[in-house]
Chains A and B, each alone.
Chain A
Amino acid sequence: MKKTKNTLKRILEDFYLVLIMVFLYAPIATLMVLSFSNSKSRTQWGGFTLRWYGEMFESATIMTALQNTLVIAFASALIATVIGTAAAIAINSMKPLSRSIIMGITNIPMLNADIVTGISLMLAFIAFGISLGFKTILIAHITFNIPYVILSVMPKLKQTSKSVYEAAMDLGASPLYAFFRVVFPDILPGVLSGFLLAFTMSLDDFIITHFTKGAGINTLSTLIYSEVRRGIKPSMYALSTIIFAAVLTLLIITNFAPQKKFEK
């Protein structure tokens, strides 16, 4: 009796998991199917084609937007990782009071609404006299990326022991040498996952880019948004399918590679 009840419970749980999976993946499957459909209509299947994949590479607008998106994502993630890792090391050595104040400020961009962050940055750029464009998108993305890096690096830093670093110094290592040879390898998984998190957040951002981009420059998100009224070109679905496959690969690497090595 108890056994049947448990089996029933398990089946119900599995059913629930599948239901949520369908909910989460239905739109993604839809986009993928549409990217192969030989019809501009979003609701009609027009036969299989690879035409949109070809058109995607020929479209200068899409390729420029893709390039902007990738350059901004990479540069902002890299700069945020450097600034954020340095900040995390400093914060870790601070007294509890100043630490909690700084962590409070760090939480602002994460808890703040994107629309408020976007508007406030736009007002600041105009007040500082920086013309809106590539630069301002980059600065905005670095700003919202730094907290992700700090929050990824901090837990790893807390796990490292201070005495190893001090032992290296006692043995004659310079602070910089001791850091890169002793501390850095320990926090590297946190730094890497911070970088990848930042990269992906930048890639997926629309709202903050929308307010800080100015005229004449587009990332993929803003290009898609500007096409909504006219109807999205199916080549956009093709590109998003490719990106999804790329991100999937990226996530498999980040989720499985470090875990095996560093999980104790």
Chain B
Amino acid sequence: MSKKLLSGPYLIWMAGFTVIPLILILYYGLTDRSGAFTMANVVSIATAEHAKALWLSMGLSLVSTVICLVLAYPLAMILRKRNVGKGSFVVFIFILPMWMNFLLRTLAWQTLLERNGVINGILTALRLPTQSLINTPGAIILGMVYNFLPFMVLPIYNVLCKIDDNTIYAAQDLGADFWQTLFRIWFPLSLPGVISGITMVFVPALTTFVISNLLGGSKILLIGNVIEQEFTRGSNWHLGSGLSLVLMVFILASMALIAKYDKNGEGTAF
């Protein structure tokens, strides 16, 4: 079949620019500067400095993911309810912010959170004590939730839209109350979207170095910052690759989760 030949350019491209690059990270991560095999780069995740950055990243991204889920689920349910007959307008409103340069949007939070910023200005006007908001772990969590919330809303919303109203009516006719319907019907049926959303928030939050840079000041180091610095300043690429391999474990785990819970690709965001 000549049709299959059409995938040729794509397969060559993916081999050259996705598969080989990942193999190179593996190679760099498992060798030292002289090219000899070593586990030192990967094991260095256990040093106090790196382990602290990893734990902090995991903590912050976990909290952000939970907040995103808690905010997004009711949001997706309301959107599903309101969307009837309104086309994609509502979703469109929620996607739109994603398209303004994400660095500038995150920087705008600096303006809002700063000591003399907008939020403290409002607090002062209300005669309330000002808060120190910027350069705290809380500011980083806010930045993560802000940037990645759409990636949680969209997959959940897409899956919720596929649930037949009659399933819900049946549950209600059989006497299920709101919470029973939520946990026994809505939630299990929307699991592919939830899992997809969780990975789409958790992975970028875990690996970010930009949000921590912009909203956390220079004092808070996440694992993404450590890796970025190894490549741009420290230029120990082997160490940076080794630490990236550790991150890959989390990414692979998410891929496995998606493969398990979202076999038909229902939970895609776009």
Contacts and interface: CB of A to CB of B under 8 A. Distances in A.
Interface in A110-142: 111-117, 119-124, 127, 139-140, 142
Contact of A247 (B99, B116, B146): B99
Interface string B231-262: 10000010011001001100100110011000
Contacts of A112: 203, 251
Contacts of A27: 97, 105-106, 108-109, 112, 146
Given A107-B255, A113-B207, A93 B88 contact: no
B204 A113 contact: yes
A91 interface: yes
Given A83-B9, A224-B104, A115 B224 contact: yes
A120 B227 CA distance: 12
Contact of A240 (B25, B104, B149, B208): B104
B214 A228 contact: yes
B47 interface: no
Interface stretch (B16-24, B37-45, B123-131, B183-191): B16-24
A90 interface: yes
A121 B21 contact: yes
A235 B100 CA distance: 15
A104 B262 CA distance: 12
B132 interface: no
Contacts of B251: 111-113, 116
A43 B75 contact: no
B34 interface: no
Interface in A20-41: 20-21, 23-28, 30-31, 34
A221 B103 contact: yes
Interface string B185-200: 0000000000000010
A87 B9 contact: yes
A43 B130 CA distance: 15
A63 interface: no
B182 interface: no
Contact of B149 (A24, A248, A256): A24
B28 A123 contact: yes
Contact of B3 (A13, A17, A89): A89
A140 B96 CA distance: 25
B104 A31 contact: yes
Contacts of A24: 94, 97, 146, 149
Contacts of A114: 204, 207
B25 A120 contact: yes
If over half of B's interface residues share one DSSP class (helix, strand or loop), that class is named, otherwise mixed; here it is helix
Given A90-B5, A105-B14, A251-B92, A115 B19 contact: no
Contacts of A105: 14, 18-19
Interface string A122-165: 11100100000000000110110010101110000000000000
A167 interface: no
A77 to B, nearest CB: 14
B46 interface: no
A225 B103 contact: yes
B209 interface: yes
A34 B111 contact: yes
Contacts of A93: 1, 3-4
A140 B87 CA distance: 35
A220 interface: yes
B104 A43 contact: no
Contacts of B100: 28, 31, 240, 243-244, 247
Given A28-B100, A93-B1, A127-B24, A152 B270 contact: yes
A143 B10 CA distance: 9
Interface in A138-196: 139-140, 142-143, 146, 148, 150-152, 175
Contact of B254 (A83, A86, A111): A111
Contacts of A248: 96
Nearest to B105: A27
A16 B88 CA distance: 19
A108 B255 CA distance: 8
Interface string B61-84: 000000000010011001001100
Contacts of A119: 25, 227, 231, 240-241, 244
A87 B5 CA distance: 9
A155 B71 CA distance: 29
Looking at B22, B114, B268, the one whose CB has the most chain A CB atoms below 10 A away is B22
A151 B24 contact: no
Which 9 A-B pairs have CB atoms at the shortest separation, nearest pair first? A27-B108, A90-B7, A120-B21, A87-B10, A113-B207, A124-B21, A90-B6, A86-B6, A123-B24
Given A24-B94, A259-B87, 7 more contacts: A30-B112, A31-B105, A87-B7, A112-B203, A115-B227, A123-B21, A203-B101
7 contacts: A17-B75, A27-B108, A28-B105, A90-B10, A123-B25, A206-B101, A232-B107
